A and B are shown apart, each in its own frame.
Chain A
Amino acid sequence: MKKGLMMFVASIALLLSACSRDTREKLYVYNVGEYIDREVLNLFEEEFNCKVIYELYDSNETMYQKIKAGGTNYDVAFPSDYMVEKMIKDDLLIPLDYELIPNFQYIDEKYKHLPYDPENSYTVPYFWGTVGILYDQSVIKEPVDSWSVLWDDAYKGNVFMYDSQRDSLMVALKLLGYSMNTHDIEELEEAKQLLIDQRPLVYAYVTDQVIDNMISGNAALAVVYSGDATYIMDENENMNYVIPKEGSNIWVDSMVIPKTAQNVELAHEFINFMQRPDIALMNTEYVMYSTPNTETLKMVADQEWTQNDAYSPSEELLATLPMETFRDPGEFIKQYDDIWTQVLAAPNRR
């Protein structure tokens, strides 16, 4: 019996030592799915002789809950604007040392000092974009320029909405001419009613599934993020992207170092690496979201897939439309939660 126990302990010890044989430094990176060219991670590992442990989340909220709950040791994360604001408020981020991130100089001034990080002391922008309507030109012959097309009976069962409360409520609020950051419960109620009225027309509420579905033309209309739109249009030439005249969401996703970080120095190196023009090029070519990196933008500016309002909407267009950026609603988020739950739970039969 004693002997058996010894063997057991020995084998466990052997197993553990086998696990830790890789003595390179470790960097824990936490990102959304399909938001990087994986080859970049290999290059980083080679260059800095470290091991990147790359984990995925499916929404800002999931990432927030996981970092807030503790027990993780992520060194770099990629929150969106409003989530950055929330994480700063909740003291979950480490201020960055921009001396260690020389490539920050390549970031267009437009994406610095934005309201979610006014001093720009916590973030380095990663990608930016808009939300708009992707439509199938072979089905929809009329010009599309308004969110109202998503309420058109002619396209019943032909509409993909985005399965995220802020994004779907944004569509309704904008159509009503309200701010997508409203704190007015009456306005939210109106938006709710609009979305409930729309339910019979909606084919499904999806997130990433929209990509495969629109490439194979399963619906004529979809609310999509600009980068996904660029990718879909590259695969299916019938598709076109438009930012509706009522305005929309203009967003920026950033790289941050959460308080959970164990390897702050290497995390800085990683963020810097990600905005090195050639690396940023690999990423933008792979995920097809718009880069805030001026050098990289020059490299893709004349490529065919960037010639559209999804990848590179003109400055004039963005200036004339009532665009907004999501803000963290604080405690008021509960109202958004309730409204959205009511929309999804509303009875409906297609």
Chain B
Amino acid sequence: MHESTKRLSYPYIVWISIIIIIPMLLIFLYSLIDPSDGNPMAFRLTIDNYVKFFSPIYISTLARSLWIAVWSTLACLLLGYPLAWVIAQCHPKKQSSLLLLFIMPMWINMLLRTYAWISILGKNGILNNILEFFHLAPVDIMYTDFAIILGMVYNFLPFMVLPIHTAIAKVDKNLIDAARDLGANNRQVFSKVVFPLTLPGIITGVIMVFLPAVSTFVIPQLLGGGQFMMIGNLIEKQFLLTGNWYFGSALSMILMIFILLSIWLMKRFDSDGQAGGALPW
């Protein structure tokens, strides 16, 4: 890289250090401080905060978060891939307006949109009123795992669709034609040509949905009725409610390790290491 263009990245490096790297180091430091002292200046280093995590309640909380995040990601993928495909088949002009329509709800605050689901799913909510109108049995899904997953899919679907759409749009149509010429049927075209070529987009999408899904605390709070404590809620509680920043930091570090681990796992599927390249921005 030319020296002068390299210099252009300095502001970015400074910025990243200030808002990401330094806070992360601070969190790491906090996670090693003995909470009983109460005075972080006179700190005694300890791994007690990490040891505390290894009790059944906290492990099951993390396990539940991972489980719900996996289901949400899977649902996003199953819904998002065909949707991205349909959009990619449209005329380019129509594509951009379709994508715009798809992103538009994200201009409204996420909290507000999630709140709206409360009045939709509630016992006497909009959904049950509609069901009643058609003389169908009411459903009781508010404040369940299902409601949480629904909220996550609703909020995070665009993160899945956009990178997959980008990947699909980049697939060279000639390759598909060539596959057909060589006698591949629809299924083979998909599994041998389209799917491998769009895999980087899928991986980016999966990572971008999984990350917020595993760490969110707002959605389980609002749609889960506080019944299903997830790791995000637990961390939030340590910082805002109990003021145990040390344990909260240790939990954050553990969550970070699990996230890095899952990214690493996902990257292994993507032998070309192109996942980042399919990001929509």
Binding site for B on A (CB under 8 A): 59, 61-62, 64-65, 68, 157, 163, 165, 199, 202-206, 209, 212-213, 216-219, 333-334, 337, 341-342, 344-348, 350
Residues in A with CB closer than 8 Å to B242 are: 61, 333-334, 337
Pair B124/A216 contact, Cβ less than 8 Å: yes
A244 smallest CB distance to B (angstroms): 22
* Shortest 5 CB-CB contacts between residues of A and residues of B: A204-B225, A205-B226, A204-B143, A345-B57, A163-B226
Pair B240/A65 contact, Cβ less than 8 Å: yes
Known: A157-B140, A213-B122. A341 touches B226 (CB 8 A): no
Known: A65-B240, A204-B143, A345-B57. A219 touches B123 (CB 8 A): yes
Pair A204/B226 contact, Cβ less than 8 Å: yes
B54 smallest CB distance to A (angstroms): 14
Complexed CA–CA distance, A242 and B23 (Å):
49
Pair B243/A65 contact, Cβ less than 8 Å: yes
- Interface SS majority for chain B: loop
Pair A217/B227 contact, Cβ less than 8 Å: no
Interface size in chain B (residues, C-beta < 8 A) = 28
B204 smallest CB distance to A (angstroms): 33
Binding site for A on B (CB under 8 A): 57-58, 60-61, 118-119, 122-125, 140, 142-144, 222, 224-227, 229, 234, 237, 239-244
Complexed CA–CA distance, A62 and B237 (Å):
9
Pair B229/A345 contact, Cβ less than 8 Å: yes
Task: State which of B123, B226, B241 has its C-beta within 8 Å of the C-beta of A218.
Answer: B123
Residues in A with CB closer than 8 Å to B225 are: 203-206, 209
Residues in B with CB closer than 8 Å to A205 are: 225-227
17 A–B pairs (Cβ distance < 8 Å), ordered by A: A62-B240, A62-B241, A65-B239, A65-B243, A165-B241, A203-B225, A206-B225, A209-B118, A213-B122, A333-B242, A334-B242, A341-B237, A342-B57, A344-B226, A345-B58, A350-B143, A350-B227
Complexed CA–CA distance, A345 and B65 (Å):
11
Complexed CA–CA distance, A345 and B227 (Å):
8
Chain B residue at minimum C-beta to C-beta distance from A158: B123
Residues in B with CB closer than 8 Å to A165 are: 241
Residues in A with CB closer than 8 Å to B226 are: 163, 204-206, 344
Task: State which of B61, B125, B227, B241 has its C-beta within 8 Å of the C-beta of A204.
Answer: B227
A326 smallest CB distance to B (angstroms): 15
B40 smallest CB distance to A (angstroms): 12
Pair B241/A350 contact, Cβ less than 8 Å: no
Pair A217/B124 contact, Cβ less than 8 Å: yes
Residues in A with CB closer than 8 Å to B240 are: 59, 61-62, 65
Pair A341/B60 contact, Cβ less than 8 Å: no
Known: A204-B143, A204-B225, A205-B225. A61 touches B57 (CB 8 A): no
Residues in B with CB closer than 8 Å to A342 are: 57
Of A65, A204, A342, chain B has the most CB atoms within 10 Å of the CB of A204
Of B142, B226, B243, chain A has the most CB atoms within 10 Å of the CB of B226
A200 smallest CB distance to B (angstroms): 10
Chain A residue at minimum C-beta to C-beta distance from B239: A65
B60 smallest CB distance to A (angstroms): 6
Residues in A with CB closer than 8 Å to B229 are: 341, 344-345
Pair B124/A347 contact, Cβ less than 8 Å: no
Pair A341/B143 contact, Cβ less than 8 Å: no
Chain A residue at minimum C-beta to C-beta distance from B222: A209
Residues in B with CB closer than 8 Å to A347 are: 60
Known: A209-B118, A218-B124, A333-B242. A341 touches B234 (CB 8 A): yes
Task: State which of B60, B140, B222, B239 has its C-beta within 8 Å of the C-beta of A345.
Answer: B60
B230 smallest CB distance to A (angstroms): 10
Residues in A with CB closer than 8 Å to B125 are: 216
Pair B241/A202 contact, Cβ less than 8 Å: no
Known: A205-B227, A341-B57. A59 touches B241 (CB 8 A): yes
Pair B234/A348 contact, Cβ less than 8 Å: no
Residues in B with CB closer than 8 Å to A345 are: 57-58, 60-61, 229
Chain B residue at minimum C-beta to C-beta distance from A206: B225
Residues in A with CB closer than 8 Å to B222 are: 209
Complexed CA–CA distance, A64 and B243 (Å):
9
